[in-house]
Structure 1
Amino acid sequence: MSLAVALEVTPLPLRHPLPTPPPHHVGQPPTAFHNPWPSFHQHSWLDALLTSRRNRDFKPVPPRDQLVKIVRPEWGNGQDGLKATWIGHASFLIETPKQNNNEGGGRGVRILFDPVFSDRTSPVSWAGPKRYTPTPCTLAEVPEVDVVVISHDHYDHMDAETLQPLYERRKGKINFLVPLGNAVRLHGMGIAMEDVTQLDWWEGVQVTVPTAGSVKLTCTPSQHFSGRALWDRMSTLWSSWVLECVNTSTTATAPGPASPLRLFFSGDTGYRYVPSEATEDTVPVCPAFGEIGEEYRPFDLSLLPIGLYSPRHFMSPVHCTPEDAVCLHRDLRSKRSIGMHYGTVRGGISQYFEDVTEPPRRFREACETAGMVWGKELALLNVAETVVVRLDLPRLADLDLEHVRSSKHTKYFGIILDLFDASLKKTLERLRLNTNSFSATLCPSLSLLAQMRKSSAK
């Protein structure tokens, strides 16, 4: 039985103040929410009906050996650092590095993002989108969790059959972080209101787990929508999330607090509304990700969506293509990004149009077209594979990444932060300078990104 005591949730100072009322609120106090950018377009129910009936290009799910590989989860055991294990779709288990001032010293803080273990992502168990890739383990096999973070209320991200047992298992020792309006959703699932923390965009908290340490979590914007029924669309807020490790370690060569590791979790998001293929690189893009990147850069690891984007004209306001994900990676000033939100379940209109094997292929192609290094700057994981980001504390400069696989633990990645990679530092700085002017307007084409990278290397 766990000896952990109740955790502490403390509000953080607001780093990015918003006007009053905030532009994404509808009403004051808000009764609904919306996306306040020209990069978004609201489709009607009639649009959805007509799109689902026209020009379908259904492709069946191929045999299991042609899909994303499932491995046995090891959760990064035996390694220290910021650990992220993909459980499928948008579900991740994150564990922060061990902190030398915690009492137990055995582990860091554990955070579950958008956990879904149900077989179907729908209101009922007998109908609705069904998994074609099973979970890699049972919920009971997941290590004990301190914080559950939800991005929005859609069934493939907020699963009552998963959240209820998580709460019962850790009642009094777990907190649920949700965007505004979602506390009542969790309360309806039997989760006590005092164990739920609601946040608006740019609001954050520090969560302290007495035997594991502390972590900062900030609710940040995304371009999406909400609703669990026909009548409650946009009634609760959606979000992305920023995680900052709180590291109080000191060394002889670098006294004082170390530079924190940072992780970005996108949840569901679109990047730009594309009414036709011809307008792909001429439409406004969501400025929020450039703002997040400017506020928190650099991100050591970002978890970005790459699937369920077809048909493009309909899904583009709310779901990213692999090419959009590459642009998000750039806007966020992320050192390394992992693709997610694919390879697990078919849902909504996309099930009639999208080849489920296409997103990973396109993600790698987009990476290479942009002149980035596959497996180093952009990568994919097997289901239940763990990526580990390690920070060498004496070296506190803006570090760069070198990606290697552990020879002992072949089921997860190790990332070594290399201070002396001068050519990559020059490239990153050149990209940072060049992309500042694009962040709030247009995403340059991938060919332009490749040209920028090539010129930076000269």
Structure 2
Amino acid sequence: MKLKNVLTAAAVTGVVGWLTWAAWGIPGQIGARRGEVSPYAGGSPRYRDRKFHNSDPSSDAPTPSGGLLRDALTRRSAGRPAGRVPLVPSVAPEVAAEVAVTWYGHSSVLVEVDGYRVLADPVWSRRVSPSTVIGPARLHPTPTPLADLPPVDAVVVSHDHYDHLDKATVHELVRTQKAPFVVPVGIGAHLRRWGVPEDRIVELDWDDSTTLGGLTLTCTEARHFSGRGLTRNTTQWASWVLAGPVRRVFFGGDSGYTPRFADLGRRHGPFDMTLLPVGAYDERWSDIHMNPEEAVQTHADLELGNGTLGVLVPIHWATFNLAFHPWSEPIERLLAAAEQAETTVAVPRPGQRIDGLNPAHPSPWWVRLA
């Protein structure tokens, strides 16, 4: 009995120790509390009842259910590649191009527009979680060290979810870059808590813009939600128009489909390139995550009435297993829909740079990993 009690005590101590390790640093990772956000968010017309709202009625997140738990146990492995994802650690040109993008995986991109560089939704950590021990981990390494990126003119964030806003990456960018962080209303509170200097924080609401030289960054509508802890929607979420004097790029970040993108196209287009999410979709949260066919429709809506169709580059796939669809399904469905719609698509490998004016025809590098 004594030995049994000793073993039981050791097991309990081990579990407690592991949980303590897993929980280490979580409050800091979560970021600002509601009270720190509300003074900045309260001035927005989209902020009501202490939270932000979509224009179209939308859910926040899937409600836990037996079906969801069953899928988590039986279908989760489908979202992993069958082998090693090929990386292309490209070297940035000395001078930024008219329009180009380097995709680092998931939604992390370096956009070049009219000689300017914008780093969007940079996430370089191994996990997208408040814990460094548990939570979705990378399916491939980062193709380029963050410190090796060229100087950028702005860092743009779409919303505060862990797969789009990462504390460790923010700290490194404060150290290695001089650019301002241009973010939706409320996210500045997270940055302040993490030590980002006030003069490097620019907060914008939907339809607001800021200008950096000849580069104009416009915060535009998206259909999503926000939250890093137990409270939801205390900070705004957004898409972005990245416009130089001549060229324009649309960064979708993360969003469900909404016909309101057509209005954005009429007001801000035409676009030489759209960067649109294609992964982590499910019928249970279809109003906050678009599927590949809806990405093709969004691309067309953004160009509605402008008479031109730029190149669509898929993001929000391949790097983190966040849903239950097969790993390569987003691209297979995207290309099928794009062919029907006669939409030009470029599918870079992680780390690969795509010329937006002369995009290479995608080689099916993902097929062997299906």
Q: Using structure 2 for the length normalisation, give the TM-score.
A: 0.79
- 1:76–1:388 CA contact under 8 A, matched in 2: no
Distance 1:368 1:206, change over 3 A: same
- 1:151–1:239 CA contact under 8 A, matched in 2: yes
Tell me if 1:204 matches 2:180. no
- 2:179–2:200 CA contact under 8 A, matched in 1: yes
Deviations 1:202-259 (A, max 9, x none): 0001012xxxxx31000000000000001x200000000001113xxxxxxxxxxxxx
Query: 2:291: which partner in 1?
Result: 321
Residue identity opposite 1:263 in structure 2: V
- 1:120–1:130 CA contact under 8 A, matched in 2: yes
Query: 1:4: which partner in 2?
Result: none
Structure 1 CA distance for aligned equivalents of residues 335 and 161 of structure 2:
28
Distance 1:238 1:80, change over 3 A: closer
Give unpaired runs (5+ residues) of structure 1: 1-20, 98-107, 209-213, 247-259, 272-285, 391-401, 411-458
Structure 2 CA distance for aligned equivalents of residues 267 and 344 of structure 1:
15
Structure 2 CA distance for aligned equivalents of residues 386 and 315 of structure 1:
31
Q: Following TM superposition, by how much is the alpha carbon of 1:51 offset from its aligned partner in structure 2, in angstroms? A: 4.2
Query: 2:64: which partner in 1?
Result: 48
Query: 2:54: which partner in 1?
Result: 35
- 2:113–2:248 CA contact under 8 A, matched in 1: no
Pick aligned residue for 1:337 from 312, 321, 335? 312
Query: 1:93: which partner in 2?
Result: 110
Structure 2 CA distance for aligned equivalents of residues 224 and 176 of structure 1:
21
Query: 1:156: which partner in 2?
Result: 163
Distance 1:84 1:403, change over 3 A: closer
Number of equivalenced pairs = 312
Query: 1:57: which partner in 2?
Result: 75
Structure 2 CA distance for aligned equivalents of residues 79 and 194 of structure 1:
25
Pick aligned residue for 1:386 from 339, 347, 353? 353
Distance 1:77 1:322, change over 3 A: farther
Structure 2 CA distance for aligned equivalents of residues 223 and 381 of structure 1:
26
Q: Following TM superposition, by how much is the alpha carbon of 1:341 offset from its aligned partner in structure 2, in angstroms? A: 0.5
Higher RCO structure, 1 or 2 (CA under 8 Å, sep 6+):
2
Tell me if 1:308 matches 2:280. yes
Matching of residues 287-306 of structure 1 within 5 Å: 287-306=259-278
Q: Which secondary structure does the structure 2 equivalent of 1:229 belong to?
A: coil
- 1:219–1:241 CA contact under 8 A, matched in 2: yes
Distance 1:76 1:387, change over 3 A: farther
Pick aligned residue for 2:117 from 107, 110, 120? 110
- 1:71–1:384 CA contact under 8 A, matched in 2: yes
Structure 2 CA distance for aligned equivalents of residues 43 and 167 of structure 1:
31
Distance 1:238 1:35, change over 3 A: same
Query: 2:255: which partner in 1?
Result: 269
- 1:75–1:83 CA contact under 8 A, matched in 2: no
Give unpaired runs (5+ residues) of structure 2: 1-42, 304-308, 364-370
Residue identity opposite 2:288 in structure 1: V
Residue identity opposite 2:315 in structure 1: M
- 1:23–1:36 CA contact under 8 A, matched in 2: no
Residue identity opposite 1:81 in structure 2: E
Q: Which secondary structure does the structure 1 equivalent of 2:211 belong to?
A: strand
Deviations 1:98-141 (A, max 9, x none): xxxxxxxxxx3221100000000111211111001111011111
Residue identity opposite 2:69 in structure 1: R
Residue identity opposite 1:389 in structure 2: G
Q: Which secondary structure does the structure 1 equivalent of 2:182 belong to?
A: strand
Structure 2 CA distance for aligned equivalents of residues 308 and 386 of structure 1:
23
Residue identity opposite 1:387 in structure 2: I
Q: Which secondary structure does the structure 2 equivalent of 1:129 belong to?
A: coil
Pick aligned residue for 1:359 from 330, 337, 340? 330
Q: Following TM superposition, by how much is the alpha carbon of 1:323 offset from its aligned partner in structure 2, in angstroms? A: 0.5
Residue identity opposite 2:82 in structure 1: P
Structure with the higher helix share, 1 or 2:
2
Distance 1:190 1:367, change over 3 A: same
Q: Using structure 1 for the length normalisation, give the TM-score.
A: 0.64
Structure 2 CA distance for aligned equivalents of residues 329 and 269 of structure 1:
13
Q: Following TM superposition, by how much is the alpha carbon of 1:174 offset from its aligned partner in structure 2, in angstroms? A: 1.7
Q: Following TM superposition, by how much is the alpha carbon of 1:50 offset from its aligned partner in structure 2, in angstroms? A: 3.8
Q: Following TM superposition, by how much is the alpha carbon of 1:62 offset from its aligned partner in structure 2, in angstroms? A: 3.3
Q: Following TM superposition, by how much is the alpha carbon of 1:160 offset from its aligned partner in structure 2, in angstroms? A: 0.7
Deviations 1:388-411 (A, max 9, x none): 235xxxxxxxxxxx6557xxxx9x
Tell me if 1:26 matches 2:67. no
